[in-house]
Amino acid sequence: MNVDRVLEGYVVKLGDNVSTDDIIAGRYLHITDPEELASHLFENRPEIRERLLKAKKPVILVAGRGFGYGSSREHAPIALKTYGVKAVLAESFHRIFYRNSVNNGLLVIEVKGMADLVDDGDKIRVDLRAGIVETPRGTIRIGKIPDYVINLILSGGLKEKLRSIASQKSHT
Amino acid sequence: MADESLAVEIMSSHVTNGTKDVGPGDIVVVKPDILLMNDVTALLAIRVLEETGAEDIIDCKRNNTIIVLDHYSPPPTARIASSYRRLRAFARKHGCLFKDVGEGIMHQIAVEELVEPGQLALGADSHTITYGALTVFSTGIGSTEAAYILATGELWLKVPHTINVELKGTLEWPLTGKDVVLYILGQTGGDGAVYASVEFMGDGLKSIQVSDRLTISNMMVEGGAKTALFPVDDILLDWLMRERGIDPRPAWKRLSPRKAEPDLYVDLGRLEPMIALPAAPYNVAPVREVEGVEVDQVFIGSCTNARYEDLAEAARILKGKKVKDGVRLIVTPASRRIYHKAIETGIMEVLHSAGAVITPPGCGACFGSHMGVVGDDEVMVSTSNRNFPGRMGSPKAKIYLASPQTAAATAITGRITDPRDI
């Protein structure tokens, strides 16, 4: 399960400090089935849920500062990815959400100044090779991602690494 | 060496891939001393182990792994009760440390029994950051990462930059660690400490007890911090001896108080009772600015503020008084040990006589699933850590976060009340 280096999607715009509680409420965290989790996205934030459900897929979330605020629940990136969110572009991320996303093959990229360039429904294109995002109102550079992290992202995160470690050990 | 941050100091001693000479921004692989999972994050970790075929290669002993049933505990539905059976079987099969229903919140159990200064603890729960109060480099991780550690014993981390917080003056009643951390969050906002090690220093440390330090470290994750470290000083050494029977270790000298250029000051002498308004923990104001707001419920609980000291302070205010008619006061002790001590010392009798509803230990209403969540348009003052829409029940409820003192005072009057007025 490698992550695509070039991907396209339709924008849903969000504000600052969108929390993992916003993304998936605590009452659903006993659930591990990805489809079931995806059906409960943003229930605590009805105005976001409504826009997400109306949006064309695949979705790219464009957010402000501190996306993925709060709880460590990995259910959040799993639910987003399963629903059809391909990537999250934000001014900055909270660290546990960022790591959880990488490990589940949800592309998360720090991009400054995106919010001014896009609106809900815009089609945008992320090109990791060129390090850019193309929007209807211009192209924008993405921040530098450390080599260790980009390799992890492109290989599908720790889950894929774990899969290969497990298969090697079982063959030795 | 002593001018390095506490975070760099502790991380350096846990690096497994080559050089120990690490600095902020470096990506290192570390071996944690302790790995912690709760009921909800462990369930997902087990799913990852099954999906990747890694369950056969895991080792619970290598990193001293513990699973604690605290979030939905005791289980409110048959489906969750069945999940709990699964977690018990997993822990038994692989020899993980295990705490069942009613033992308390994972973070409180870690502080009571497991962690000590200089260790590196990784936990699948964002409030793992709490143990920074005991000079433990502790931080939250995800479930896949917990599964990865179970299988390999290691995990990558970025070495954090430091935000130095200097505490000046003296913290005096009724001010608490909660007021300090809410004040700091007002300065950092929700993302001002993202990726950072927040480290505390200054003369003010002398008036901040371990219980308050735990509250402060706990909520620094609400500013985005990776870890939030207090140094090893006499207050911590006394506490470790008294509560845990642990003698000082020579290696802890390297974790002594630092002197560094502060990035942030808190003048404890000028602080007043603080409160976080709906719907973010950094949306803070002095209690005075919102006093009089009518409430439906008061919650004293969570890994932030349900320690013995918190219950004792609430009891000091509620002694001989009654919770206002029409207002519910829910008290959820952080651990069985705390619950027991509060029974022995009469604290529970005081709270109960005042009208409190006392629940089993655990995360309780803070997690928004049971034991006292609130309904549409209700208003609650809570000693917990997050007040996002729907965090503790209906998305239409309004949650204010404050100290146990402010919460207890509010329970008596039925309106948000500055504890100095009681």
In a domain, A1, yes or no: no
Task: Report DSSP state, residue B131.
Answer: G
Interatomic CA distance for residues B123 and B126, integer angstroms: 7
Write out pLDDT tens, residues B220-236: 999 999 999 999 999 99
Write out pLDDT tens, residues A11-35: 999 999 999 999 999 999 999 999 9
Find chain A residues with C-beta within 8 A of B369's C-beta.
26-27
With an 8 Å Cβ cutoff, are B388 and A21 in contact?
yes
In a domain, A141, yes or no: yes
Find chain B residues with C-beta within 8 A of A159's C-beta.
48, 51-52, 144
Residue B258: pLDDT over 70: yes
Sign of CA dihedral B155, B158, B163, B164: positive
Burial A27-56 (b: 16+ CB within 10 A, else e): bbbbbbebeebbebbbbbbeebeebbeebe
Percent of chain B with pLDDT over 90: 98
Task: Report DSSP state, residue A155.
Answer: T
Instruction: Please tell me if residue B156 touches chain A, with a CB cutoff of 8 Å.
Output: yes
With an 8 Å Cβ cutoff, are B48 and A148 in contact?
no
Average pLDDT (B14-23) is 86
Write out pLDDT tens, residues B91-100: 999 999 999 9
Q: What angle do CA B45, A22, B180 make, to 5 degrees?
A: 90
Give the SS3 label for residue A90. Answer: strand
Find chain A residues with C-beta within 8 A of B141's C-beta.
72, 96, 99
Write out pLDDT tens, residues B364-383: 999 999 999 999 999 999 99
Question: So what's the pLDDT on residue B394?
Answer: 98
Domain interval for residue A108 = 6-171
With an 8 Å Cβ cutoff, are A74 and B44 in contact?
yes
Q: If pLDDT is split at 50, 70 and 90, which confidence band does B1 have?
A: very low
With an 8 Å Cβ cutoff, are B54 and A30 in contact?
no
Q: What angle do CA B411, B412, B414 make, to 5 degrees?
A: 65
Residue B2: pLDDT over 80: no
- CATH code, A122: 3.20.19.10
Q: How many domains does chain A have?
A: 1
Interatomic CA distance for residues B269 and B208, integer angstroms: 12
Interatomic CA distance for residues B361 and A8, integer angstroms: 48
Q: Which residue of A72, A104, A149 is in closest CB contact with B41?
A: A72
With an 8 Å Cβ cutoff, are A95 and B224 in contact?
yes
Find chain A residues with C-beta within 8 A of B40's C-beta.
29-30, 73, 75
B268 in Cβ contact with B207 (< 8 Å): yes
Question: So what's the pLDDT on residue B97?
Answer: 98
Instruction: Please tell me if residue A150 touches chain B, with a CB cutoff of 8 Å.
Output: no
Residue A101: pLDDT over 90: yes
B404 in Cβ contact with B384 (< 8 Å): no
Q: Which residue of B43, B128, B388 is in closest CB contact with A22?
A: B388
Interatomic CA distance for residues B341 and B417, integer angstroms: 28
Instruction: Please tell me if residue B147 touches chain A, with a CB cutoff of 8 Å.
Output: yes
Closest CA to B144 of B122, B120, B119, B121: B122
Task: Measure CA A13 to chain center.
Answer: 13
Interatomic CA distance for residues B26 and B52, integer angstroms: 29
Closest CA to B66 of B107, B99, B92, B24: B99
In a domain, A144, yes or no: yes
Output the 3-class SS for B40-77.
Answer: HHHHHHHHHHHHHCCHHHCCCCCCCEEEECCCCCCCCC
With an 8 Å Cβ cutoff, are A25 and B145 in contact?
no
Percent of chain B with pLDDT over 70: 99
Average pLDDT (B253-259) is 96
Domains of chain B: 25-158 (3.30.499.10), 162-270 (3.40.1060.10), 275-421 (3.30.499.10)
Find chain B residues with C-beta within 8 A of A94's C-beta.
191, 194, 224
Residue B297: pLDDT over 50: yes
Average pLDDT of chain B is 97
Instruction: Please tell me if residue B222 touches chain A, with a CB cutoff of 8 Å.
Output: yes
Find chain B residues with C-beta within 8 A of A170's C-beta.
53, 56-57
Percent of chain A with pLDDT over 70: 97
Radius of gyration for chain A, computed over Cα atoms and rounded to the nearest angstrom: 16
B248 in Cβ contact with B155 (< 8 Å): no
Token code pair at residue B78: 């048959």
Tell me the residues of chain A between 54 and 113 that have a Cβ less than 8 Å away from chain B: 65-66, 69-75, 78, 92-96, 99-100, 103-104
Find chain A residues with C-beta within 8 A of B191's C-beta.
16-17, 65-66, 69, 92, 94
Question: So what's the pLDDT on residue A172?
Answer: 59
Interatomic CA distance for residues B316 and B300, integer angstroms: 14
With an 8 Å Cβ cutoff, are B53 and A163 in contact?
yes
Instruction: Please tell me if residue B190 touches chain A, with a CB cutoff of 8 Å.
Output: yes
Closest-CA residue of chain B to A147:
B27
Average pLDDT (B319-335) is 98
In a domain, A88, yes or no: yes
Tell me the DSSP string of A26-73: GGGTT---HHHHHTTTTTT-HHHHHHHHHSPSSEEEEE-SSBTBS---
Interatomic CA distance for residues B163 and B369, integer angstroms: 35
B379 in Cβ contact with B394 (< 8 Å): no
When mean pLDDT is compared across A108-117, B39-48, B189-198, B265-274, the lowest value belongs to A108-117
